[in-house]
Chain A
Amino acid sequence: MNLALFIPEIALLATAAIVILLDLFIEQKRWLAQVSISGLVISGGVAIAMWGGSYPAIFNNMLAVDNFALFFKMLFLGVAFLVILSSTDYVSKFSRFQGEYYALVLLATLGMMLMAATTNLIAIYIALELTSISLYALVGFLKDSKSTEASLKYLLLGAIASAVLLYGMALVFGFTGKTQLSEIAQVLQALPQTTLLASPGLLLGVVLLVAGFGFKIAAVPFQMWVPDVYEGAPTPITAYLSVASKAAGFAIILRVFFSAFGIPVWLSQNWGLIFASLAVISMTIGNITAIPQTNIKRMLGYSSIAQAGYLMVGLAAMGMASGISILGQSGVLFFLTSYAFTNLGAFIAVIAISNKLDSDLIADYSGMGKRAPLLALALTLCLVSLIGMPPAAGFMAKFYIFNAAVQHGLLWLVIIAVINSVISAYYYLRVVKVMWLGETASAEKVPSSGALRLALLLCCLGVLLLGIIPGYAMGLAQFAANIFVY
C-alpha cells in the first residue's frame, strides 16, 4: 500500500492535532486560524496535484483514490477554508476552547473526505460517525440554551439515523455476505430478479440506507432537525452543515447506489423513483415551510431542504440511466459546487450582518442596502442564485441538473422542480425587498473584518464565474463523474 496517497488526510489530521496542542501554549489565538488554514492549503495542494491521475485503492480496498473522491476532497477543503476564514471574528466570542473549535472543523472535514472515498460499508459508517460526532460538538459550541438544545436534538436524531443506517447495512450484509460495495454488486448481479424480489430483507435494507443517508442530506421526511439546529448552531457551523455535510451525504449516496445497486437496471430504476419522490416532497415541503419564516437562519434551513430536493432530481436521473450516462452524477457534482459557493456566501453575509445587529430576524435587515450596500448586494446575489436565476451559478446548476433529468425521461419531475423554483422566489425576494426597500432602523454602518470580506468576495466571484462561464467547472465535474461508467 502506498501511504503517499493518503497524504491529504494525514496532513489534515496532523494539523488538527497541532492546533489543539498549540492552543495550550499560545496567547494569540488568531494564529490557530492561520495554522488551520495552512493545513487546509497543504492538504488541498496535494489533492490538486493528485487530480487526474489513476491510483490504486488503499487500506485493503477500503478507500478509493479516484477522481470522484479527489473532487469532493477539494470541495470540502475549499468549504472548510471559507468557513474558517469567516469564523475568525465569530470565534472571538468564545472565551475558551478556540483551539478545539478549529480542530473539530478540521476533523469533520477529514471525516467527510473519508466519506467521499470509502468503498466499504464499515468504513462508510466510521467516516460518517467521525463527521457526525465532530459536528454534534460544534453545534453546541455557543453553550447558550438554543445552541445546547440544537446540539442535543442533532445528537439524538443523528444517533437514530445512524442506527437506521447501520440496520440497513446489516440487512444488506446479511443478504449478500459482503461489505465491499463492488462485491455486493457482484452478488446481486449473479442472482435472478425473482430471487431478489422475493427477498424483502434486501429491499428493506436499501430503503433503510436511503433513510440513513437522507438524514445527512436533510431530505424530507428526515429533515426535522434542520430548522432548530440551523438556528441554534454558531452561524459558521450552520453554513458548514448546510454545505459540506450535505455534499458529503450526496457523495456517499452517489457512490453506494452506483457501485452496489447500479445494476440490474430494474433495481436502479426503482431507487431512482424513490429519489424522484423524495425530491418532489423535499422541494415542495422545504419551499412552502420556508415562506412564513421570520428568522433568516431558519429560512435558509428550509431552503436547504428544498435545495436537497433539486439535487435529488440528479440522483433520480442517475437511477434512470445508471452506468449508461453520467449526466445526472456530474449534474449533482456541479450543483453541489455552485450551491457551496452560493450558500456559504449567503451565510457569510448573515454572519457579518448579525455580528453587528446581534439578531437573525429578517425584519432587522431592513434598510441594509443603505447601511451596508456591498454586503446587501452580495447577499442579494446569493439569494438570486438560490432562486436559480441567471447570471448566478444557481441557474446553471439547475439548468444542468434538470437537463440530465429531461434526458432520462423525467420531464414531469423537471416541471415540478421549476414550479418549485418559482415558489422559492417569493421568500428569497422578501429578504431582498426588506434590505433595499425597508426603512433603516439606524444609520450606523455595518463593519466587517478583512477575513470575512475576503471570504465573501471569493464566494461571490465563484457564484458569478460558475454562472457566466461554467464550462470549466462542468468539465471537472464530468471528469470526476467518469468513474460512473461501466
Chain B
Amino acid sequence: MLGSGYLTTILFLPAVGAVLVAFVLSNRDRVIKWTAALFTFVPLALSLILFALFDRSPEAAGLIQFQERALWIAPINAYYHLGVDGLSLPLMVLTAFLGFLAVLISWKIHLRVREYFAWLLLLETSILGVFLSLDLLLFFIMWEIEVIPMYFLINIWGAGRKEYSAIKYVVYTLFGSAFMLAGILSLYFSTGSLNMVEIGQRGLGLVQSIMPAAPIFWLLLIGFAVKLPVFPFHTWLPDAHTDAPTAVSVMLAGVLIKMGGYGMIRLCVTMFPPVAQQYAVILVILAIIGVLYGAAVTMRQTDFKRLIAYSSISHMGYVLLGIFALGKVSLVGAALQMFSHGLVTGLLFAMVGLVMHNAHERDLRKLGGLARQVPIITVVFSIAGLASLGLPSTSGFAAEFLVFVGSFSSSLVPGIQVYTILGVFGVVVTAGYILWMLQRVFYGPPLEQYDGTADADVLERVYMFAFVAVIMLVGIYPAIITDIIKLGISPIAGMLGG
C-alpha cells in the first residue's frame, strides 16, 4: 500500500507542535504563532496530497487506503490502526483545512498565547484521530481526548458565561461517551475484535449470536447523538458555540460535531444495518424536529453568534435525516452536508468573530448598516449566508439537494416522503433567518457609531478567500467530493439493500 506513514504524520504533527509550543520554544508570540501555523499547514498540504493520490476507481469502493497497522496492546488485541476511505477522507481534509485556518483566525489572540496554541493544536490531533482511527479503542481515546482542550479553550479564552458553558460541554460529552464506551465494550465482547473494518464486514450475525444487537446500537448512538447533536441532547451546543473563542467555534461547528455524524455512519449504520432500519423512523422524526425546531429557535435569536450556533442544530438535522433515510444518495448527501456545513458555518463563525472584534457589538438589535463601513466583510458574509441557506452554486445547495432527493426516494423507511417534505420547510425558515440577519446587520442606513470600523485586513482576506473558493468549488463541481464519498458509502448502501 502506498504511502505508509503519511497518516501518522498528519495525525501527530499538530500534537508535536503542541508539545514544542508548550514546553520547548521561547514564550514569544511570533515564534509560537508561526510554529502553530507551520505545524498545521504541513498536515494540510499532506492531506491534500493524499486527496490527490486517493484511488477513485470504482474497484476501490469500500477499500481502506493508506492503511497503517501495528500491534499496540497485545493483551486486549488492540491495534494502532489508521486508514481512510471515501467517508473519512473528506472529513480529514476538512479538519486539516480548518485546523490551519483556525490558527490564522487566532492570530489576534494575546492572552496566554502559549497555552492557547498548544490546546488548539492538540484539539486538531484528536479530531483527526477520530476520523483516521480504525480501531475502536483508538477511536474512543481520540474521541475522549478532545474534551480536555475544549474545556480549557472555552473556559479561559471564551466570553460570556464561559465557565458554565465549558463544564456543560464536558458533562454532556462525557455523558454521551460513557454510553458509547459501554457500547464499544459490548461490541468487543460479542465479536472479540476492536477492528472497525472487520466488525463491519463480518456483519451482525456474529454479534447477535452473543447478545442482542439493538442495545449496542443504542448505546453507541447516544454518544454520537449528543455530539451531532440530535434534538433532546442539543442544549450544550448554543452555549458552547456562543461562548467559545472564534477559532474554537470554527473548529467546533466545523468538524467537532461532524464526529457524531461520522460515528453514526461508521459504527451504527455500517455495523447494524437491520437495526438501523428498524429504528430509522424514530431517528428521522428526531431529525425533522431538529430541523424545524432548530430553525424556529434560530429565528428568535438576538445575539449574533448565538444565531449561527442555533442554525447548526437545524443543519445537523439534515445530516441525521440523510443518514437514517438509509438510501445511497441520501447517505452521500449527509456526508456532503457534513463537509459543506463545516466550511459554511466555519466561515460564518469566523466572520461573526470578525464583526464582533471590529465593531465591538454582538447584539443584532444594535447592529445595522455595516455594508458601507465594512464592504469586504459584507460581501463574504453574504456569500456564506447564501451558502448556508442552500443557494445553487454553493456547496450548501449540492448537499441539501442530495439529502432531500435521496431521502425522498429512499424505500427503506416507511413514510419518509412525508418527513422529507416537512424537512424541506426548514430550508424556507433558514432563508428567512439568514436574510433577516443580513438585513439587520449589514443593510439599512449606516449607523454613526460604526464609522471607522475596520474592514478585513490582509490575513483575514486570505482565509476568507480560501473558504469562499472551496465553498464555490464544491458548489459548482460537487463531484470532486461526492465521487470520493460514494466509494465509502456504496458498500454500506449495498448492505442496506437500498
Residues of A within 8 A of B (CB): 330, 384, 387, 389-391, 395-396, 399-400, 402-403, 406-407, 411, 414-415, 418-419, 421-422, 425-426, 429, 432-433, 436-437, 469-471, 474-475, 478
Contact = CB atoms under 8 A, between A and B. Distances in A.
Given A390-B144, A406-B186, A418-B182, A425 B74 contact: no
B163 A433 contact: yes
Given A421-B174, A425-B174, A471-B75, A411 B186 contact: yes
A435 to B, nearest CB: 11
A389 B147 contact: yes
A395 B185 contact: no
Contacts of B137: 399
A414 B167 contact: no
Contact of B178 (A399, A419, A426): A419
Given A391-B141, A418-B182, A471-B72, 12 more contacts: A395-B144, A399-B181, A402-B185, A403-B189, A411-B215, A415-B178, A421-B178, A425-B174, A429-B170, A433-B167, A437-B156, A474-B73
A284 to B, nearest CB: 14
B72 A469 contact: yes
Contacts of B188: 403, 406
B163 A437 contact: yes
Interface in B407-435: none
Contact of B148 (A389, A400, A433, A470): A389
Interface in B161-191: 163, 167, 170-171, 174-175, 178-179, 181-182, 185-186, 188-189
Q: Give the top 4 A-B pairs by smallest Cβ distance, nearest first.
A: A418-B178, A390-B141, A474-B75, A406-B185
A426 B171 contact: yes
A453 B185 CA distance: 37
A471 B74 contact: yes
Contacts of A330: 75
- Give the size range of B's interface with the partner: 20 to 34
A384 B174 CA distance: 12
B147 to A, nearest CB: 7
Interface in B118-177: 137, 140-141, 144-145, 147-148, 151-152, 155-156, 163, 167, 170-171, 174-175
Contact of A414 (B74, B155, B182, B215): B182
B447 interface: no
Contacts of A414: 182, 185
B76 interface: yes
Interface in B263-283: none
Contacts of A436: 152, 155-156
A415 B179 contact: yes
B149 to A, nearest CB: 12
A426 B167 contact: yes
A418 B144 contact: no
B94 to A, nearest CB: 24
A396 B78 CA distance: 12
A79 B171 CA distance: 33
12 contacts: A389-B145, A395-B144, A396-B73, A399-B76, A399-B181, A406-B186, A407-B189, A415-B179, A415-B219, A418-B178, A418-B182, A422-B174
The interface residues of chain B, by DSSP majority, are classed as helix
Contacts of A425: 170-171, 174
A414 B187 CA distance: 14
Contacts of A418: 178-179, 181-182
A422 B155 contact: no
Interface in B72-120: 72-76
Nearest to A412: B182
Contacts of B144: 389-390, 395
A400 B76 contact: yes
A287 B182 CA distance: 20
Most chain A CB inside 10 Å of its own CB: which residue of B140, B152, B181: B181
Most chain B CB inside 10 Å of its own CB: which residue of A330, A399, A433, A470: A399
A403 B181 CA distance: 10
Contacts of B140: 390
Nearest to B22: A377
A474 B147 contact: no
A470 B80 CA distance: 13
Nearest to A402: B185
Nearest to A408: B189
B189 A422 contact: no
A309 to B, nearest CB: 15
Nearest to A330: B75
Most chain A CB inside 10 Å of its own CB: which residue of B73, B74, B147, B219: B73
A242 B72 CA distance: 31
B141 A411 contact: no
Interface in B244-271: none
B69 to A, nearest CB: 15
A395 B171 CA distance: 16
A470 B155 CA distance: 31
Nearest to A473: B75
A64 B219 CA distance: 44
B438 to A, nearest CB: 36
Contacts of A400: 76
Contacts of B189: 403, 406-407
A387 B175 CA distance: 12
Most chain B CB inside 10 Å of its own CB: which residue of A395, A406, A475: A406
B185 A422 contact: no
Given A390-B144, A406-B189, A471-B72, A415 B182 contact: yes
B145 to A, nearest CB: 6
Contacts of A411: 182, 185-186, 215
Contact of B75 (A415, A432, A437, A475): A475
Contact of B167 (A396, A402, A429, A471): A429
A45 B141 CA distance: 35
A402 B181 contact: yes
A390 B74 contact: no
A437 B171 CA distance: 18
A289 to B, nearest CB: 18
Given A403-B189, A422-B171, A425-B171, A469 B73 contact: yes
A26 to B, nearest CB: 41
Contacts of B185: 399, 402-403, 406, 411, 414
Contacts of B178: 415, 418-419, 421-422
Contact of B175 (A407, A422, A433): A422
B174 to A, nearest CB: 4
Contacts of B215: 411
Nearest to B155: A437
B74 A429 contact: no
A470 B78 CA distance: 11
Contacts of A475: 74-75
Most chain A CB inside 10 Å of its own CB: which residue of B75, B145, B186, B188: B75
A469 B137 CA distance: 12
Interface string B194-236: 0000000000000000000001000100000000000000000
A422 B182 CA distance: 13
A395 B140 CA distance: 11
Nearest to A400: B76
B136 to A, nearest CB: 10
Nearest to B216: A411
A387 B188 CA distance: 22
Contacts of A391: 141, 145
Given A395-B144, A415-B182, A403 B167 contact: no
A396 B147 CA distance: 17
Most chain A CB inside 10 Å of its own CB: which residue of B137, B145, B167, B174: B174
A426 B76 CA distance: 30
A399 B144 CA distance: 13
Nearest to A419: B178
A407 B185 CA distance: 8
A433 B315 CA distance: 33
Contacts of A387: 174
A406 B182 contact: yes
A406 B211 CA distance: 11
A437 B182 CA distance: 33
